[in-house]
A and B are shown apart, each in its own frame.
Chain A
Amino acid sequence: MKKWFGLLTIALVSLALVACGQKPSGPTKTLDELGYNPNGLPIVQEVVEYTIISPKNALAINYNDMDIFKKMFEDTNVKIKWNNLSEETFSTTKQMIIQDTRNLPDAMYHAGFSDRDIIQYSAAGTIIALDQYLDNMPNFKKILEERPDIQKVITAPDGHIYALPRVEEMGLLQHPNILFINKDWVNLLSSQNLISLNGQALRVSIEGGNLEDTSTESNIQLKPLVITVNDQVVNGFTLAQYEAILRAMKNNASLLTSANLIPLTFRFGGWQGNQSDLYGAFGVPENIDHLTVVNDQVTFTAALDKYKQATNFFAGWIEEGLIEKDVLTQGEFDLLAKGKGSNPRLGSFYWWEKETVIKPEWQSQYVALPPLIGPDGKQNIGVSNNQEISKGNFVVFSKAQNPEILLTWIDRFYDPVISAQINYGPIGIAYEEELNPDGLLIQKPIPDGMTADELRLKNAPMGVIYLSYEQWENTLVMEYRARLRLALLDVYIKPYIMEGVRQYPNVSFNLSEMNTINRYGTDIYSYVYQSTTGWLLNGGVTDSEWNAYVSKLNQMKLNDMIRAYQSAYDRYE
């Protein structure tokens, strides 16, 4: 009886071993035999095939069917077998796919490799260093020569480059918040003397701010915004004046709208439309990471004394209902839906842009406001840490044969005209076949029944591109809404960035820094989040609570974490 089991076990084990021993390998042709040419088309004379695995957006068509890739195959003779998976499947199985070394593809697109992934898999020999092939990548080589800052960002601590970046520089991401207000309501309340500050009626008017009548698609012109308080032109509202306006909205809601009015809303900790600029009014260079660089010093904002003041102040607004309590819990959709009921509900709000939030017919009622004037009489805001250069978008696995060919193929993505098509959709679908008078690619009108995003997501793979600031002048026309937002940022945001404040750059961490940040960061951030939201909901923080909070943060090795960020920053500089 036992013999049987023994035999069976041996049989199974040996079967498994036999199966492991097999490895298919065909004869490899050399580059010369294939007719490889890194600097012209086609890249190879004979068709070469590679398998690339990539997640894709649920709305996108299969990459094998995308026009842009078909065209690239015709031009290059490099055939790519795309293996698409949904984003959810990809994020669940990514590590398994990479570790399943026997069934690896040749490369991974939209790879989303973190610094840790790169260190781990380069050490294991799973991914190859790409800097040794720079001569096979003329476009990429040129970018690195022109932009040492990009080279700095993507170079791993061991001095090699393992993954290709995505660069899309529009100057929008650094500032994800703009404050909008319903100016019609403000003017109406003021005309009826309903806004009062310290017992006295406050006369307020907001004029202009929207588009000029002469503004066109290609030439955006904003009407200057004129704010007056008690008939004096001012640069912006002080916190006290703004509070008086919000209170007036709340107390006279039935006069303004039949819906349930919300004086001020945003998303606490959301990537766009968050609380940062409110804290900015108190002189805190805030962003949602509570981490920023002030005069080359990495600064943790949530431990600053001004952070306590700001939290106490805004807790009062929440208590009074001037800021709705939902700001702590609502999702993006909840906020967006609030702007689109049967009647306007929002008095003011922070968001990326008003077009997304407010119904088209109410657009003209809402205008952007400059930052609020803080207790020290200054208008200040911080900078977010959103990056325009993202690392780790494309990696090549060591099993790829003749990686030179694959890399020359992917290098074409950095050609500005192809970058534009990768990012927005191919010529003929997203772009007109003919260039505009300035020699730029110009977007086709969107087909009926489709939104701009739908068209783009369906036809553009996105991912590895290089669209730097100069490309908007030399290669393609920026989308209208992006240009509109840039115009707003120029007026309402950029002049008010705190002096000496810059975003924490896209540095490469070494292993010990990474370990420190991972070990302490999670606890610190969840403690800061819990404390801050608790104080905001419960009317504020006492001095003794604050002192206990700061000493707890120190116990949690906040300083070690900041030091790790600082040393990576210093190395980067």
Chain B
Amino acid sequence: MVKQIKKRHSMESKGDQLFHYGVIALMTLFAILILYPLWFMVIASVSNPDAVLNGEVWLWPDTIDFSGYAKIFADPQIWTGYKNTILYTLVGTTLNIILTIPAGYALSRPNLPYRKYIMWFFIITMFFGGGLIPFYFLISNLGMIDSFWVLIIPQGLSVWNMFMVKAYYESNISIELIEAAQVDGASQFRTFWSVILPISKPIIAVMILFYAVGRWNSYFDAMVFIRSEELYPLQIVLRNILIVNDNASGGITGEDIYERLRLANQIKYGVIIVSSLPIILIYPLVQRFFKEGFLVGSFK
């Protein structure tokens, strides 16, 4: 590989070579710009928080100290939050897929009755929303405040994602394929289940990724609707640890603010690593589908 590059270099003109090195230098700079914050997070998570705050840590950790991580792993709330987030993500994403893929497929078929009206029905929700207050009253009257399902059901379907699925099917599934299935005697459901689904892996993978990342990172609905600590997702637990300046219910004195902020600063970086690791790990697994299908499918 290196040899090849060298060989190619020798055939290039001086100007080309210069350009080449310029590009490499520029890209290295960009890579550093992107990698440095990640690196900083890693070293800050094992350093003394006072040193981090006084600007004494910037390239190498001043000590290797895992007490921040020890605190993270010893905190039962973080574990409950972790468990809950995994549950919300698994159950929620499953529901999303069950709703989005069939809906997208159905809307992609020109012979769907009332297709135009159904489309408008969905599109309207993309431009107009009731706002938070009516939404709160709705949820409250459905009796879903402070329940597990409030984080699952109202976010069941993203119209944007559904249209992406629809576009995928419109451009990737030929009418002949469906006709062939029907000639063989398959019903609509059978066609979808046995013919369409097996060739939908790329779009399903992409949808799983989109929904799962969204679910993993979401906090606002949980903040508004979840009250019991046993139901907190990880993001809310982290917010409660990191954001300590709000004290409507009383009397934190300076020392405690300092202790809590110190704790927050000590575990902040570790917590960011711990909480984003699962999502970072998913990317390589689904990346090949991105290359294969997703872009080809919807934006051809």
CB within 8 Å of B: which residues of A? 1, 5, 19, 54-58, 60, 62, 83-93, 96, 99-100, 102-103, 110, 112, 259-260, 272, 332-334, 336-338, 340-342, 345, 351-353, 355-357, 423, 451-454, 456-457, 461-463, 481
Contacts and interface: CB of A to CB of B under 8 A. Distances in A.
Interface in B44-61: 49-51, 53-54, 56
B250 A57 contact: yes
Interface in B189-245: 223-224, 226-227, 229, 236, 239-241, 243-245
Nearest to A340: B50
B137 A457 contact: no
B53 A453 contact: no
A96 B252 contact: no
A103 B141 contact: yes
B258 interface: yes
Interface of B: 49-51, 53-54, 56, 114, 117, 132-133, 136-137, 140-141, 145, 223-224, 226-227, 229, 236, 239-241, 243-259, 261-262, 265
B243 A88 contact: yes
Contacts of A260: 54
A90 B248 contact: yes
A453 B223 contact: no
Given A340-B50, A341-B50, A451 B141 contact: no
A358 to B, nearest CB: 11
A86 B250 contact: no
Contact of A100 (B54, B140, B243): B140
B54 A337 contact: yes
B224 A333 contact: no
Given A100-B136, A102-B141, A337 B53 contact: yes
Contacts of B245: 332
B224 A92 contact: yes
Contacts of B247: 57, 87
Contacts of A86: 223, 227, 236, 240
Contact of A337 (B50, B133, B229, B250): B50
Contact of A453 (B117, B243, B255, B265): B255
A94 to B, nearest CB: 9
Contacts of A337: 49-50, 53-54, 262
A92 B248 CA distance: 12
Contact of A463 (B239, B249, B254): B249
B54 A341 contact: yes
B261 A333 contact: yes
Contacts of B56: 341
B56 to A, nearest CB: 8
30 contacts: A55-B248, A58-B241, A60-B249, A87-B246, A88-B239, A89-B224, A89-B227, A92-B224, A96-B137, A100-B136, A100-B140, A103-B140, A110-B248, A110-B249, A110-B250, A259-B54, A260-B54, A332-B257, A333-B53, A333-B261, A336-B254, A336-B258, A336-B261, A337-B54, A341-B54, A342-B51, A352-B254, A452-B255, A453-B252, A481-B253
Given A336-B254, A337-B50, A338-B54, A93 B136 contact: yes
Contacts of B132: 96
B254 A55 contact: no
Contacts of B261: 332-333, 336
A84, A90, A93, A340 interface centre (most CB from chain B within 10 Å): A93
A332 B257 CA distance: 8
A416 to B, nearest CB: 18
Nearest to B240: A58
A1, A56, A60, A337 interface centre (most CB from chain B within 10 Å): A337
B142 to A, nearest CB: 10
Contact of B250 (A332, A452, A462): A462
Nearest to A112: B248
Given A337-B53, A451-B259, A453-B252, A85 B246 contact: no
A334 B258 CA distance: 9
A99 B258 contact: no
Given A87-B248, A91-B246, 12 more contacts: A5-B117, A57-B249, A91-B248, A99-B133, A100-B140, A102-B141, A110-B248, A337-B49, A423-B251, A453-B256, A457-B252, A457-B256
What 5 pairs across the A-B complex have the smallest Cβ distances? Answer: A453-B256, A462-B250, A356-B254, A333-B261, A337-B53
